[in-house]
């Protein structure tokens, strides 16, 4: 099993699974501040049978930062008995922060297990309240939660 | 009510191709009042407009739309549109001189066809009103007195324009302007038929309104235009069904449906699309939802060669909500490119999109969606769920969601799964004595059930039957 880290990368990353039995884990964490714009497209292409990929992307946008994460899973016609999962999670820390999540699937055969999930939200107020009620000041609360969120 | 069930008549015109499609018969067109020559031109648009005695503003609007259509390029995304030959299509086919109020006044052959399609008069007791469209024109329509007395308007779009020109002028093209996309421009240029619905303040239409669209002629284009206005606090449910004959040439169906949901109103729009597998179905549907309004799209696509349809809602008022339940079934040669768009513009708006698709025999299903939560839409929530079932190795399923968020106080969730029928599930059912086909059908029905449950009962029964029919012989 191979782990590929795409943290804070931009542009297009293409991961091709072309050996039978190949297994990859793709992870990436992202943080954008001020007026930064970060755009990443991860493409996972399954070309042969019995391949497996798990992709997890987590991002945090502060200030007026913009985070655009796309992920595409392609399972080609020959690549049966494949499983591939993609998760994208984005936290927005300011009302001016922008996020774009595009998780695509292109499945050309039937014997596969494939899914993707994406969420975009702010820090739940209960979480903030819980930590603050234990004496942690507000500015540290956010940092703590973000740290925990980005841990793989 | 079995509006999609065929009524078995002994006299059966042979279907042109060997096909399980049940609605494939056709009627001769020699008794038509008017058929336009194939092809699209400003002259044709003027011709249509003069046939309808339209006000000048509508003709000008049509002509503007035509020049926009000609200027726009074909969409480069989605399904394969390269085989549409715009010059071979008849854009306007008028089967009768006018719309009949009574069923008895409809020409015999049209009446017979609608009876065969399962929409005879006897079955209409549970409906508030009906419209039956044959090629370009609504040939028959009615609305029960109890609703018309309360001020409900249910007319064909042509009649609506004649009787309520101000209301139509105020709203026509406001939700979907003709420049929205190439096919909304085409529809605006040559539209004919469709429904015009107005529900006054506070009126709850408890029975559904129904429209049935039938393409009959070969190489026909059907471009119906529907406008539904639900005034404050009103409720209405509208259902449409569509079928066409089995021609080997392709037809084009390109509708525009605009819905205005005013404060606190609720509209449910149900479509059961069962065109023959040579129809291009390129439809634009959108609702504009004001404060606390609620819009529900239930969209079922079984037929057509290629469907590109993404019912959308613009949630423009505080607390507005929208829901799309979409189901697609693609068999050999078919491509169902469907989905939904949710545009959140106001605070505390919520939307849910649930899409289920089944592809088999080399068919292709695509979910294509967009969720846009604007900078003023704090406190908004969205959830998208897409599930796809692929029944054989040659079929294909895609999911292309786009989610954009411009403010942080939101909750947005998306999930999608793709799978085949599990062998363990099949094994379980077959070990209990079901055949493989019965077991597969049962699993597919279970897969579709959460959506079918949301339909009115008669539709639910009918959908289950249609799915069973589509599944026939797909195993082994």
CA–CA separation, A5 vs A16, rounded Å? Answer: 15
- Residue B101 has φ and ψ, to the nearest 5°, of -80, -40
Give residue ranges of B with CB < 8 Å to any A CB: 375, 378, 388, 390-420
Angle (CA) B96-B99-B127 rounded to 5° is: 130
CA of B132: how far to CAs of A65, B114, B175, in Å?
Answer: 53, 8, 25
Chain A residues touching residue B375 (CB < 8 angstroms) = 95
CA–CA separation, A134 vs B82, rounded Å? Answer: 64
Q: Which pair of structure tokens corresponds to residue A46?
A: 């399954």
Q: Which residue has the tokens 């967009």?
A: B370
pLDDT value of residue B5: 47
Q: Is B110 helix (H, G, I), strand (E, B) or coil?
A: helix
- Residue B261 has φ and ψ, to the nearest 5°, of -105, 110
CB contact, 8 Å: A39 with chain B? Answer: no
B405 → closest Cβ in A102, A104, A120: A120
CA of A122: how far to CAs of A134, B72, B194, B286, B320, in Å?
Answer: 21, 40, 44, 29, 21
8 Å CB contact of B393 and A101? no
Residue in chain A nearest B401 by alpha carbon: A102
pLDDT value of residue B143: 86
Residue in chain B nearest A65 by alpha carbon: B406
Residue in chain A nearest B414 by alpha carbon: A118
Residue in chain A nearest B413 by alpha carbon: A119
Asked if this assembly's ipTM is beyond 0.95, the reply is no
* Distance (Å) from the alpha carbon of B312 to chain A's nearest alpha carbon: 18
Report the mean per-residue pLDDT for chain A.
93
Pairing mode, if any, of strands B225-230 and A11-17?
Answer: unpaired
pLDDT (tens digit, 0 to 9) for every residue of chain B, 476 residues total? 344 444 444 333 444 444 667 788 888 888 888 899 899 999 999 999 999 999 999 999 999 999 999 999 999 888 899 999 999 999 999 988 778 877 778 888 888 887 777 665 545 666 778 888 888 888 888 888 888 999 999 999 999 999 999 999 999 999 999 999 999 999 999 999 999 999 999 999 988 898 889 898 888 899 999 999 999 999 999 988 888 888 888 899 999 999 999 999 999 999 989 898 889 999 999 999 999 999 999 999 988 999 999 999 999 999 999 999 999 999 999 999 999 999 999 999 999 999 999 999 999 999 999 999 999 999 999 999 999 999 989 999 999 999 999 999 999 999 999 988 888 889 999 999 999 888 988 898 889 888 888 777 767 777 777 777 777 765 54
CB within 8 A of B253, min separation 6: which ones? Answer: B213, B215, B221, B222, B223, B242, B244, B275, B279, B280, B281, B282, B283, B304
- Residue B122 has φ and ψ, to the nearest 5°, of -60, -25
8 Å CB contact of B390 and A95? no
CB contact, 8 Å: A146 with chain B? Answer: no
Which among B408, B425, B440, B444 is the top mutation candidate for probing chain A, defined by the most A β-carbons within 10 Å of its own β-carbon?
A: B408
Residues A97-117 have a mean pLDDT of: 92
pLDDT value of residue B168: 95
8 Å CB contact of B403 and A112? no
8 Å CB contact of B409 and A122? yes
Question: Which string of b and e fits A25-51 if b means at least 16 CB within 10 Å?
Answer: ebebbbbbeeeeebebbbbbbbbbbbb
Residue in chain B nearest A63 by alpha carbon: B408
Which among B385, B403, B444 is the top mutation candidate for probing chain A, defined by the most A β-carbons within 10 Å of its own β-carbon?
A: B403
B415 → closest Cβ in A108, A113, A115: A115
Q: Which pair of structure tokens corresponds to residue B84?
A: 């549409």
pLDDT value of residue B423: 86
Chain B residues touching residue A118 (CB < 8 angstroms) = 401, 403, 412-415
In order, the DSSP letters of A25-45 are: EEEEEEEE-TT-EEEEEEEEE
- pTM of the entire structure? 0.90
Chain A residues touching residue B406 (CB < 8 angstroms) = 98
pLDDT value of residue B7: 45
8 Å CB contact of A94 and B419? no
Query: For chain A, what is the largest distance between any 2 Cα atoms, rounded to a whole number of angstroms?
Result: 57
């Amino acid at each position: 099993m191979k782990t590929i880290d795409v943290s804070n990368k931009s542009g297009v990353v293409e991961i091709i699974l072309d050996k039978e039995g190949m297994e990859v884990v793709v992870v990436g964490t992202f943080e954008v501040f001020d007026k930064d714009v970060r755009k990443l497209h991860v493409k996972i292409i399954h070309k042969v049978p019995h391949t497996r990929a798990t992709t997890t992307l987590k991002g945090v946008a502060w200030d007026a930062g913009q985070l655009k994460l796309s992920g595409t899973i392609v399972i080609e016609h020959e690549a049966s008995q494949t499983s591939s999962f993609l998760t994208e999670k984005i936290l927005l820390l300011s009302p001016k922060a922008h996020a774009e999540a595009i998780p695509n699937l292109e499945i050309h055969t039937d014997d596969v297990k494939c899914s993707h999930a994406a969420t975009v939200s702010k820090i739940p107020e209960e979480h903030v309240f819980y930590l603050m009620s234990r004496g942690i000041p507000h500015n540290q609360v956010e940092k703590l939660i973000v740290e925990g969120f980005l841990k793989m | 009510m079995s509006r999609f069930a065929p009524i078995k008549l002994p006299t059966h015109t042979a279907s042109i191709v060997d096909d399980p499609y049940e609605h494939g018969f056709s009627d001769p067109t020699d008794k038509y009042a008017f058929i336009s020559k194939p092809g699209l031109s400003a002259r044709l648009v003027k011709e249509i407009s003069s046939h309808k005695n339209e006000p000048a503003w509508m003709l000008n609007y049509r002509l503007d739309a035509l020049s926009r259509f000609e200027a726009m390029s074909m969409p480069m995304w989605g399904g394969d549109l390269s085989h549409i030959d715009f010059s071979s299509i008849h854009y306007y086919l008028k089967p009768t001189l006018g719309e009949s109020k009574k069923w008895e006044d409809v020409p015999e052959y049209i009446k017979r066809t609608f009876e065969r399609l399962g929409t005879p008069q006897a079955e209409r007791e549970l409906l508030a009103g009906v419209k039956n469209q044959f090629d370009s024109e609504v040939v028959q329509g009615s609305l029960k007195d109890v609703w018309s007395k309360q001020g409900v308007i249910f007319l064909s779009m042509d009649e609506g324009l004649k009787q309520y020109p101000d209301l139509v002028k105020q709203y026509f093209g406001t939700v979907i302007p003709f420049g929205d996309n190439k096919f909304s421009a085409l529809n605006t240029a040559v539209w004919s038929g469709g429904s015009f619905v107005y529900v006054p303040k506070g009126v709850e239409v408890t029975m559904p309104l129904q429209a049935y669209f039938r393409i009959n002629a070969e190489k026909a284009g059907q471009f119906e235009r529907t406008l539904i206005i639900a005034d404050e606090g009103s409720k209405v449910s509208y259902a449409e069904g569509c079928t066409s004959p089995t021609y080997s040439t392709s037809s084009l169906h390109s509708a525009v449906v605009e819905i205005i949901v005013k404060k606190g109103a609720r509209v449910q729009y149900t479509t059961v699309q069962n065109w023959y597998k040579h129809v291009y179905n390129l439809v634009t549907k959108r609702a504009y939802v004001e404060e606390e309004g609620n819009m529900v799209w239930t969209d079922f696509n079984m037929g057509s060669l290629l469907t590109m349809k993404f019912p959308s809602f613009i949630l423009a008022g505080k607390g507005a909500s929208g829901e799309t339940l979409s189901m697609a079934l693609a068999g050999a040669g078919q491509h169902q490119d469907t989905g939904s768009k949710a545009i959140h513009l106001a605070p505390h708006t919520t939307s849910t999109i649930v899409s289920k698709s089944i592809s088999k025999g080399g068919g292709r299903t695509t979910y294509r969606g967009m969720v846009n939560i604007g900078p003023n839409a704090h406190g908004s929530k969205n959830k998208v769920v897409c599930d796809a079932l692929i029944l054989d190795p040659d079929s294909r399923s895609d999911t292309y969601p786009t989610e954009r968020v411009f403010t942080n106080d939101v909750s947005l969730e998306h999930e999608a799964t793709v799978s085949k029928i599990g062998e363990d599930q099949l094994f379980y059912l077959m070990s209990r004595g079901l055949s493989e086909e019965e077991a597969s059908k049962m699993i597919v029905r279970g897969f579709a059930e959460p959506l079918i449950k949301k339909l009115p009962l008669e539709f639910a029964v009918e959908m289950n039957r249609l799915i069973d029919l589509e599944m026939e012989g797909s195993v082994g």
